Each structure stands twice: as structure tokens, then as C-alpha cells.
Structure 1
Amino acid sequence: MRHSTRDQQMRQRIAQEAARLIATEGVRDYGAAKRKAAERLGAPDTRNMPRNTEIEAELVSYQSLFQRNEQPRHLQSLRRAAVQAMGFFERFRPRLTGSVLSGTADKHSDVNLHLFAATPEEVFIYLMEQQLPFEEGQRRFRFGRDEQHTVPVVRFMAGEVPIEAAIFSEEGIRQPPRSPIDSRPMERAGLARVEALLEEAEPVES
């Protein structure tokens, strides 16, 4: 029992340190954050790693305790940028995902969008027509327990806010990939919902 309690305490400490790394050092990958946290706590070989959901819960707690004014300001700024980017991509039925939607985004975060087009080239051509500089890339998404697909992405800056837009097929709007946090179908939000989130937010103290 004593050993089990010690393991549980280490698991919580790793989750808390991983959350701090995400909040203060901009480590965006939860897996990398908990591995780095375990190393810093002297337990790099532990098998009792926290789940991503545990880390996210600790992240919310950390932000509410230590970044209660700063983090909401950054979140609101990112959501405003998301609204503008979604308006820009209206023809591709954009959906917001990730930390800007869930509410844990901060100054280290980017805006993650999902776009839907017959071909990725439609998005590339549209960006070139709008004379917006962008970079092409790829990102892997998990769809089933063992099913993964590589999806093209475009990255660009909207003022000082980095935007990453993944381009799915038109049918992909009904088939969200799995969340890296809880493995459930990834939450997506359309423009109306993101605008509502902005309107519902309480004023942030200066």
C-alpha cells in the first residue's frame, strides 16, 4: 500500500510539472511534457505516467492559480484571431479545434483550424490568390484505435498569431479525428459558436 501511495504521488507530481512546462515553457506536446517532467523529477524510467487528461486538469488548475489574468487575455486574443481566420476561409467550412476552443490556450499557442475541400490544392490556390504567404506541411491524425492518416496543413501568420489549418476531404467534416487528450472524437466548433464564446467571456481584469 505504501508503494502504491508513493507511485500515485509521483504520478501527480509528474502531471503538475508537465502542466507547468506547458504553461510556462511552451511545450505543446503532452507526451514530451510528461517525459521531460519525469526526467526533472528524477523518475525518467517510471511506468506510472499520468494520462493526458490528468495533465490537462492540472494545466487548468495552474492557469487559474498563476495566470488568472494573463491567460484569459491571451485566450480572447486567439479566439478573435480565430474568428477572423474562419471568416477568411468561409468557403472551406472552417472549424476551430484544440486549446483555443477548449480554453487552455496561452501566449505559446497557435490557432488550429480544420478546413474541408475537394483537394488541398483548392486551399493553396486560394491563399496564393489572396497573396497571403504560407508554408505547406503535414500532420498525422488518429481516426480509429489503430488508424492514422497524414493530412496536409498550411501555416501562416495573422498579425502576431500563428495559424495552422489542416485540410481534410469534404466528407471529413462528418469524420473528426481522435483527440490526443482523451482519444474521443475531436471537438470542433463553427464560426457561430466561436463568436458566442467571445461574447460569453467575462471581462478580464487589466
Structure 2
Amino acid sequence: MTRHKQAFRTGNGFARQAIAASAARMMAEDGINDYGYAKRKAARGLGYGEGVGLPTNEEVQSELRAYQALYQEDELKVRLREMRIVALDLMAGLEEFRPYLTGAVLDGTAGRASSIEVDLFADSTKDVEISLLSRGIPYRTSEPRRQGPDTPETQLHLEWEDIPVILSVYPLPLERQRAAGSRHERARAKPAAVAALLEDVEDVD
């Protein structure tokens, strides 16, 4: 039995498990990328108040993998490979901004409506916007939902080869600070690492 399954059986564990399962379904079916948002929405939908203990991201991800393996496995193998190929093309096009793939396309849980999430590091968000405009690529900007140490300056939403993309733009010096790594940061991968992942995805053509 995994550690998070054991934790589900103690205290308010059954509530946490229900929230994790509901959040996982939302992420798989509705394309929600934000774990925190999915957990809060799931808790409200199940009638739990603000005081309920929410599951960890790892617990939701475990439920998400189980859901996808049961209901979407073959479809998502093809989709994941396609999205990683497109992500590599996107990262090559934005190479000057030191791109890193992150999110569901990196960790293998990308669903039917998932976006490609890429972190960029630039002197200014305007530099990224000018680059997109010079290529005639339409986009819209948004402010991150929640503030924290991993919050980007802004997010740019666009489509690349008909797949939705979220570009999170960070100050250039922050890349060097993160080089040492932190257990609190979400996983990121450079283009070479993404290319290596493609070799591990079973060819289902």
C-alpha cells in the first residue's frame, strides 16, 4: 500500500481521497492544469468547507494516473507523444528565452484538453511579446491565480500547431537561482530531456 493511500485512511482521509479522485477527474476530462484550483473546486463540489484537509498534489496525480490508465490509456499515449513533439518545436522557436517544459505534458498526465506548459526566462516579458508579434502569433495575457515563490511575472496564452500553450515568463536571473534545485519547485525539463522522453513513449501508430 502506498504512503498516500495509508494517509487517506486516517483523520479526514476519506474526504481527502474523495477530493483527490474528483480533482483528478476534472483534470483528466476538463483540462484543468492547476492542482490547487482543481482541489479547491472538487472540495466545493463535494460540499466540504474551507477547513477540510486537501490532498497533496502527489495524491491527486496518483489518482489522475489511475483514472487515465482505466479510461484513456490508448488515446492519451498518442496524444502525449504528439504534444511532446509540438512542445519541442515550440521550445526551438523560443530558444532565446531559455525554455523549459513543465506540467502535464512533461509528467505524462496530459489529458484531452491539456495545454503545453513552458517556462521562459527573459529580461522582460515585453521581449517575449515582441517575438510573438513579429511572427504574427496572436496571444492573450493573464495574471497568475495565486502568488508564491514559483509565480511567474505573467502568463501568455496562445496556440502552437492548434494545441493550446501557456507560457510562464520569469525574470532571467531567476533561472540561475533555480539551477541549484529546490524540492518545492515543480519539475522542469530542457529540450534535450524532452527529446529523450519521446524515445521512452511507446510508438502506437
TM-score normalised to structure 1 length: 0.81
> Over aligned residue pairs, what C-alpha RMSD do you find?
2.6
Which of 147, 152, 155 does residue 153 from structure 1 map onto? Answer: 155
Do 1:136 and 1:155's aligned partners in 2 also have CA atoms closer than 8 Å?
Answer: yes
Alpha-carbon distance change, 45 to 80 in structure 1, aligned in 2, over 3 angstroms = same
Asked whether 1:126 is paired with 2:128, we answer no
CA distance in 1, matches of 2:141, 2:19: 35
Change (3 A) 1:110 1:138: same
Cα distance, 1:59–1:130 mapped onto 2, change above 3 Å: same
- How is 1:90-169 mapped onto 2 (pairs within 5 angstroms)? 90-139=95-144, 142-143=148-149, 149=151, 151-169=153-171
Question: What is the TM-score when the length of structure 2 is the normalising length?
Answer: 0.82
1:112-137 superposed Cα distances (whole Å, 9 cap, x missing partner): 11112222222122222222222233
**Residue identity matched to 2:72:** Q
1:84-132 C-alpha deviation (Å, 9 max, x unpaired)? 1001001111111111111111121111111122222221222222222
Which amino acid is 1:137 matched to?
S
Q: Aligned to 1:165, what secondary structure does the other structure show?
A: strand
Q: Which residue of 1 aligns with 2:3?
A: none
Distance in structure 2 (CA, Å) of the matches to 1:34 and 1:53: 12
Q: Which residue is 1:197 aligned to?
A: 197
Match of 2:55 in 1: 50
**In structure 2, distance between residues paired with 1:200 and 1:101:** 12
Q: What is the aligned partner in structure 2 of residue 172 from structure 1?
A: 174
Moved more, 72-81 or 127-136: 127-136
Q: How many residues align?
A: 194
| Structure 2 residues without counterparts, runs of 5 or longer | 1-8
Percent identity of equivalent pairs: 36
Q: Which runs of 5+ in 1 are unaligned?
A: 177-181
